Amino acid sequence: MTLTEQAAIERDKQDPLKDYKSEFYLKEGTVYLNGNSLGLLSKRAEKTLLTSVNDWKEQGIDGWMNGEEPWFYFSEKLGRKTAPLIGAKPEEVIVTGSITVNIHQLVSSFYKPEGTRTKILADAITFPSDIYALKSMLTLKGYEPGNHLVQAGDPKGNLLDEDSLIEAMTEDVALILLPSVLYRSGQVLDMKRLTEEAHRRGIIIGFDLAHSIGALPHDLHDWGVDFAMWCNYKYMNNGPGGTGGLFVHENHFGTEPGLAGWFGSDKDKQFDMAHEFTPAPDAGAFQIGTPHVLSSAPLLGSLDMFEEAGIEAVRKKSLALTTYFMELAEEKLSGLGFTIINPREEQRRGGHICLQHTHSASICKALKASDIIPDFRAPDMIRLAPVAFYTGFHDVWRTVDTLASIVKNEEYKDYTNKRNVIA
């Protein structure tokens, strides 16, 4: 495959998803490669947000039942529309909470230590908030996290060996929480295999889908995954702090929520105001408080695009973009100090490219000065996410060409090699 600039332009012309780029608010001349941290606003997401704002404006409290998009059933509707992206039944998904709140909810619901089976298994390189939540849950249950939280893998590494994760599934483990895609390296874990191995040992297993939902297909129901949670502000483009989501396999319907709240009630009984909790019969039971309507509404517009395009087509383009990025990097960045950290195999690679470099922080600042928006992770990682909906092949070509120029011309030396407050 030719790697010329003109060839990249031609590939963009043939891209079946190319028209979606114009639906996003992207400054002209800017390449946005930080969608693995915060996705861009689309015109459809803006429209559905404004619909809910207008329902509030025109209807006041009647927006709960009489709005153009009634708020009382909004979380359930969004859950049904999300379900195909993760291979779930509609009733197994609810849009609610934040990712960390949902970790607390689901772990408190499914972590049931008994006898010698008291430990929680996680990995050593997962996102910190997951570990904070797990340690908190252990403490609340009366267990010392230092003794009861097992973290598999090398804490200084970037990839996980699934065999070592399985070896850590010992008879004293009660629950497992792992990422579907590692936030640093973009490695995809074999969720089907890990679930089968956990269940073979009688262990409940859940996954944090923060870096996979909206980027690649899942089959959570058929794999038998017990529970999952995610944020919707990355590849799902729901906006900063946008409402998250959770999945509970139908096998666990009827499980008492660890953190009960009135919006987890059966809808027909919620306003009876009884002090006896009657949970919803499905994943809706794991809601806690009143839905964050204005932080959920943009997701409706975003999901419309996923329904149109299909997650398989999104994944196909994402893989093409990241493959192209690596091919260009091997040609243009050779000898310039970059190391590609993410897996090369398509089935093991998520939606972002991960480059390691001694001067990563200053290189990221130089990229931003060139209107290319990257993501830095300490101590030396550059994450670049060519999101299928709004990134083209020429965007990738320009990015790699700019990276080469920044290092060759030592432009990075104009910036401190230290992260900003928000990296």
Tokens of 333: 């960045």
Detail the residues annotated as belonging to a binding site.
99-100, 127-130, 208, 211, 233, 262, 290
Q: Which of 260, 290, 308 is the last residue of a domain?
A: 308
What's the distance, CA 403 to chain centroid? 26
- Reported as a single tens digit per residue, the pLDDT across 306-358 is 999 999 999 999 999 999 999 999 999 999 999 999 999 999 999 999 999 99
Q: Are residues 64 and 146 located together in one domain of the fold? A: yes
Residue 63 is assigned to a structural domain of this protein? yes
- Reported as a single tens digit per residue, the pLDDT across 359-417 is 999 999 999 999 999 999 989 999 999 999 999 999 999 999 999 999 999 999 999 99
- Reported as a single tens digit per residue, the pLDDT across 234-248 is 999 999 999 999 999
Residue 153 is assigned to a structural domain of this protein? yes
Detail the residues annotated as belonging to a binding site for pyridoxal 5'-phosphate.
99-100, 127-130, 208, 211, 233, 262, 290
On the 0-12 / 13-18 / 19+ scale of CB atoms within 10 A, 115 is exposed
Share of the chain above pLDDT 70, in %: 100
Q: Are residues 130 and 259 located together in one domain of the fold? A: yes
Pairing of strands 119-123, 149-152: parallel
Task: Give the model's pLDDT for residue 376.
Answer: 95
Tell me, what CATH number does 369's domain have?
A: 3.90.1150.10
Q: Are residues 359 and 251 located together in one domain of the fold? A: no
Q: Are residues 203 and 115 located together in one domain of the fold? A: yes
- In the chain, the number of structural domains is 2
Q: Round to whole Å and give the CA distance between 117 and 217.
A: 33
Q: Round to whole Å and give the CA distance between 208 and 156.
A: 20
Mean of all residue pLDDT scores within the chain: 97
* Torsion angle defined by CA atoms of residues 211, 109, 274 and 94, in that order, rounded to the nearest 10 degrees: 20
Going by pLDDT thresholds of 50, 70 and 90, the confidence category of residue 251 is: very high
Task: Give the model's pLDDT for residue 1.
Answer: 61
The DSSP annotation for 347-410 comes to: GGB-S-EEEE-TTHHHHHHHHHHTTEE-EEETTTEEEEB--TTT--HHHHHHHHHHHHHHHHTT
Q: How many helices (H) and strands (E) does the chain have?
A: 14, 13
Task: Give the model's pLDDT for residue 422.
Answer: 75
Full residue range of the structural domain in which residue 220 is found: 47-308
Q: Are residues 206 and 336 located together in one domain of the fold? A: no
Q: Are residues 319 and 260 located together in one domain of the fold? A: no
Q: Are residues 290 and 399 located together in one domain of the fold? A: no
Going by pLDDT thresholds of 50, 70 and 90, the confidence category of residue 421 is: confident
Can you tell me the mean pLDDT for 56-82? 97
Its sign, for the CA torsion 108, 111, 116, 121, is: negative
Q: Which of 308, 333, 357 is the last residue of a domain?
A: 308
Task: Give the model's pLDDT for residue 419.
Answer: 84
Q: Are residues 96 and 242 located together in one domain of the fold? A: yes
Task: Give the model's pLDDT for residue 10.
Answer: 97
Q: Which of 265, 291, 308 is the last residue of a domain?
A: 308
Q: Are residues 337 and 216 located together in one domain of the fold? A: no
Q: Are residues 321 and 268 located together in one domain of the fold? A: no
- pTM here? 0.97
- Residue 271, pLDDT > 90, answer yes
Question: In 10 A of CB 202, how many CB atoms?
Answer: 11
Pairing of strands 204-208, 31-32: unpaired
Q: Are residues 318 and 299 located together in one domain of the fold? A: no
